[in-house]
Structure 1
Amino acid sequence: MDKLRNLTPLQLQTSVKKCIEAYKLAVDFLVSELPFASNAYLPYNLQLTLLVEFFMICPHPSIHQRDTLKKWFWHTSFSAFFRASNYTLLRGALVQVREFANNKVNVLEIDKNINYQNFVNDTFSLNKASSKSFILLLAKHCPKSILDGSSIDIYKALSIKNQYEFHHIFPKNFLKQLGTYKTQPKQYSC
């Protein structure tokens, strides 16, 4: 923050424009490379922050960098990497993203494994990062309508977060028949 105070108005204006362009590139990356239709499905806000930082440094990434960013996004989403973020974790992630953007490192290391058992057994709720990750994973695989087999327009289906539509993923009556419907229906957000 102190560095900003020493900038001239022209320097500040230039920095703001560069940040806006980086933000647009980050959003474009999410929409074109991942099944994003709404920021409501972003598992962690820090993912967008770090993508903006990357695109501020590297507005024209290589194919390798784009592929690495996609892997990084999915790994940080499913491992809950940013769930309990602290200064040390954030600082390390920022340094790593900057080094990656400047081609000083070839990979983005994530020192947290994906715990598949926790993910599978987690309760579904639209305000949870794990549920948002699950929705994006389903959307990535080009879902089809069970009625007629036609492709589902994920951008239309996910453009507005609608908690009432997710009963199709976890239908209450079906879950009750299986004996898996919990006594707290809000855990399924249906």
Structure 2
Amino acid sequence: MEKTDGTLQEVVEFLQYEAKVPLARLVPYNIQIMLLAVFFHFSGEVGQEQRNKLRDWFWITSLAGTFAGANTTQVRKFIEEMKAFAEGKGELSYSDERARAFPERFDLRSARVRAYLLWDLQTFPHRMNSDGSRINVVDQLATAHRETYRHIITQSKVPGASSPANRIVMATPPGVSIRQALIKLAEEGRTDILDSHGVSLASVEHLKADDYAEFITVRQHEVAAREKDFIVSLGILPSERAFGEADIDTE
């Protein structure tokens, strides 16, 4: 029990500080926690190169949906592979994996959406509210995660309204919508605030014209392109489709 307690502490520290996972509920697959525990149980002194490979393994398996629907035989294989890697007798070979498409629907029950959120949190760490004050997204997610990412376009019948690209973390004054706040920030030239959320001036022009569907389309392509750059940097193939269904596949 003492050994297990220490091992789990190592897993938590790895997820927090190296994989940049701020909250347990955002881990895409529970099996990843178990496999990380296998690694730290059987490993000795862990060098930075091995940690980097483990970090890439976490991101690749999250984005590719590697553990979706894993059966007992596959889980046993994953455990044996991780044990061998921990002992320096094997490698984590996931370079032939292909990432799943950018999710079309924001649903935290989807591992692909959780992976997107982890990327989003890492990519935009210094967000600001409409008044320029800093936002602590992690604290908000810890207390009210369903309300943290607010809709920009609130009309559900607008095409793409359920996309993660139609969500943003920002507090606005009473009676002021996110859409109105973004338009005002663009008019005031507050690109620093817009950039902290990954919102471009080009996309806001569609908000000004009340072309909500086009705004979502433009922002979806902009965000997906940035995430794709990250996927390629991991050494795996991006999805053959730009956008796809957010499968409900967490345990």
Normalising by structure 1, report the TM-score. Answer: 0.74
> Which of 71, 74, 85 is the equivalent residue of 1:89?
74
Q: 1:165 is matched with which residue?
A: 148
Q: Tell whether 2:83 aligns with 1:98.
A: yes
Aligned partners of 1:150 and 1:113: how far apart in 2? Answer: 40
Q: How many residues align?
A: 163
Structure 1 contact 54–98 (Cα < 8 Å) conserved: yes
Q: 1:10 is matched with which residue?
A: none
Q: 1:155 is matched with which residue?
A: 138
Q: Name the stretch that deviates more: 44-53 or 125-134.
A: 125-134
Q: 1:112 to 1:128 in 2, by over 3 A?
A: farther
Question: Which letter maps to 1:133?
Answer: A
Q: 2:97 is matched with which residue?
A: 113
CA positional deviation for 1:111: 7.2
Question: Which letter maps to 1:102?
Answer: E
CA positional deviation for 1:110: 2.6
Q: Name the stretch that deviates more: 69-78 or 135-144.
A: 135-144
- 1:107-135 CA-to-partner distances (Å, cap 9, x unmatched) read 3113762244xx31442101211111111
Question: Which letter maps to 2:23?
Answer: S
Aligned partners of 2:144 and 2:112: how far apart in 1? Answer: 15
Q: 2:112 is matched with which residue?
A: 130
Gaps of 5+ in 2: 163-244, 247-251
Structure 1 contact 35–140 (Cα < 8 Å) conserved: yes
Q: Name the stretch that deviates more: 34-43 or 47-56.
A: 34-43
Q: 1:70 to 1:174 in 2, by over 3 A?
A: farther
Aligned partners of 2:110 and 2:126: how far apart in 1? Answer: 22
- 1:55-103 CA-to-partner distances (Å, cap 9, x unmatched) read 1112531101110111000001000011110122211111111011001
Structure 2 contact 103–112 (Cα < 8 Å) conserved: no
Aligned partners of 2:24 and 2:102: how far apart in 1? Answer: 23
Percent sequence identity over matched residues? 24
Gaps of 5+ in 1: 1-15
**SS of the counterpart of 1:56?**
helix
Q: 1:45 is matched with which residue?
A: 30
Superposition pairs for residues 134-145 of structure 1, below 5 Å? 134-141=116-123, 142-145=125-128
Spell out structure 1 runs of 4+ moving beyond 3 A.
Answer: 148-155, 174-177
Q: 1:57 to 1:150 in 2, by over 3 A?
A: farther
Normalising by structure 2, report the TM-score. Answer: 0.58
Q: Name the stretch that deviates more: 89-98 or 30-39.
A: 30-39
CA positional deviation for 1:150: 5.9
RMSD (Å), alpha carbons = 2.5
**SS of the counterpart of 2:145?**
coil
Aligned partners of 2:53 and 2:155: how far apart in 1? Answer: 39
Aligned partners of 1:98 and 1:32: how far apart in 2? Answer: 22
Q: Which has the higher helix share?
A: 1
